[in-house]
């Protein structure tokens, strides 16, 4: 089933499938109680729509439910073999639960569906090809869907992942031909930031262009922000999402004394925040070359260039302000904020 024809599934804060927008997900790398709302908000500003997390070892039920309540993003709890975590989370108002039917008994799966139905939550039926203990991943997911439907539960998202690109492609194409439920896409265990960005982009772009997939994640041995940025950039590059922020950044060379990498690092978070709250699209250029940087970025809404002494700020190729390089961050952000508020 192609994306526009899939079932529409909803929880309190998540809508997937049908003609709804493709969503971006990431997963916390550590225990949920190590993260605060400021960090989760940062992920949201950068384009994250859904945040998944798992639990290992002891945890406070009160802390878990408070985490769910305070999160700026809708949450998915990823459980393995302990459905008590799902029960606590669902009782605390979580939007979705991810189960791997290869690791749970039929009785436990039934219980998760029952509680999720009572709480109007989504269940993602997801498995990795390596965890099926000899059973076909496709068969396992379809059998679990049939069990859910027999219980009158249809608030379902599916996923089948593998670390092999060709296998991931074939599994998801087959899954899309067999079910009308939204599919979550990802190439699992795809490597570090650069490796995953390349491998995942090849796989996900093919599936998305075929109309397969309602929600995606880049699986990286890297930060959650890296995963979110890669996913949002893919969707915008495929014209499947209009980003709030489009960055044009010079890679630098020996001529440059205005260090673009460092300046980007200094302003990037604030730029995402500004554009998120203004709900607008802007292109921002950070150019290291004082000779032709402005001309190369003349189409950018806002830009900055210069050297290690002086910076020039421009709009659509026209210089609007000059400042000391040491004050460049504050001056640049001030120009953008004032322009957007006027």
Mean pLDDT computed over 241-263: 87
Residue 119 has pLDDT above 90, yes or no: yes
Residue 131 has pLDDT above 80, yes or no: no
Task: Report all structural domains of the chain as residue ranges with CATH numbers, in order of start.
Answer: 3-237 (3.20.20.20), 245-341 (3.30.413.10)
Question: Above pLDDT 70, what percent of the chain?
Answer: 98
The more confidently predicted of residues 146 and 244 is: 146
Mean pLDDT computed over 327-341: 95
Residue 132 has pLDDT above 80, yes or no: no
Mean pLDDT check: name the lowest of 47-56, 223-232, 293-302. 293-302
pLDDT for 133: 61
Residue 109 has pLDDT above 70, yes or no: yes
pLDDT for 254: 81
Instruction: Say if CB 267 and CB 250 are below 8 A apart.
Output: no
pLDDT digits 0-9 by tens, 21-79: 999 999 999 999 999 999 999 999 999 999 999 998 888 999 999 999 999 999 999 99
Mean pLDDT computed over 237-264: 88
pLDDT for 312: 93
| Mean pLDDT of the chain, nearest integer | 93
pLDDT digits 0-9 by tens, 137-175: 999 999 999 999 999 999 999 999 989 999 999 999 999
pLDDT for 1: 76
pLDDT for 274: 95
pLDDT for 134: 55
Between CA 276 and CA 249, with CA 333 as vertex, the angle to 5 degrees is 80
Residue 207 has pLDDT above 70, yes or no: yes
pLDDT for 160: 95
Going by C-beta distance under 8 Å and a sequence separation of 6 or more, which residues neighbour residue 331?
311, 313, 321, 323
Mean pLDDT check: name the lowest of 112-116, 244-248, 291-295. 291-295
pLDDT for 240: 95
Put the strands of the sheet holding 96-99 in their side by side order: 156-161, 122-128, 96-99, 75-78, 50-54, 23-27, 215-217, 184-185
Of the candidates 282, 272, 284, the one whose C-alpha atom is nearest the C-alpha of residue 45 is 272
Of the candidates 85, 76, 58, the one whose C-alpha atom is nearest the C-alpha of residue 11 is 76
pLDDT for 290: 65
């Amino acid at each position: 089933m192609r994306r526009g024809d899939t079932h529409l599934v909803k929880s309190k804060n998540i809508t997937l499938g049908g003609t709804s927008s493709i969503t971006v997900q990431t997963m916390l790398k550590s225990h949920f109680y190590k993260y605060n709302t400021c960090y989760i908000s940062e992920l949201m500003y950068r384009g994250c729509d859904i945040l998944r997390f798992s639990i290992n070892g002891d945890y406070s039920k009160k802390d878990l439910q408070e985490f769910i309540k305070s999160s700026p993003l809708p949450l998915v709890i990823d459980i393995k073999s302990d459905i008590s975590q799902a029960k606590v989370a669902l009782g605390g108002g979580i939007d979705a639960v991810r189960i791997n039917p290869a690791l749970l008994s039929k009785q436990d799966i039934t219980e998760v569906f029952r509680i999720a139905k009572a709480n109007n939550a989504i269940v993602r039926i997801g498995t990795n090809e390596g965890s099926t203990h000899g059973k076909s991943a496709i068969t396992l997911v379809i059998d679990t869907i049939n069990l859910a439907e027999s219980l009158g539960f249809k608030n379902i998202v599916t996923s089948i992942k593998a670390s092999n690109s060709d296998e991931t492609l074939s599994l998801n194409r087959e899954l899309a031909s067999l079910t009308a439920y939204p599919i979550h896409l990802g190439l699992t265990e795809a490597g570090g930031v650069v490796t995953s960005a390349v491998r995942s982009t090849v796989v996900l772009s093919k599936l998305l262009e075929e109309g397969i997939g309602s929600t995606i994640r880049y699986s990286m041995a890297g930060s959650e922000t890296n995963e979110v940025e890669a996913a949002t950039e893919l969707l915008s590059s495929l014209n499947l999402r209009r980003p709030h922020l489009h960055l044009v950044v010079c890679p630098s060379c020996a001529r440059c004394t205005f260090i673009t990498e460092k300046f980007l690092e200094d302003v990037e978070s604030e730029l995402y925040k500004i554009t998120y709250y203004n709900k607008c699209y802007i292109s921002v250029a950070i150019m290291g070359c004082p000779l032709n940087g402005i001309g190369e970025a003349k189409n950018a809404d806002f830009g900055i260039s210069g050297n290690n002494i002086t910076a020039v700020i421009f709009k659509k190729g026209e210089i609007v302000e000059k400042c000391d390089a040491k004050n460049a961050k504050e001056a640049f952000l001030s120009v953008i904020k004032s322009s957007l508020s006027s």
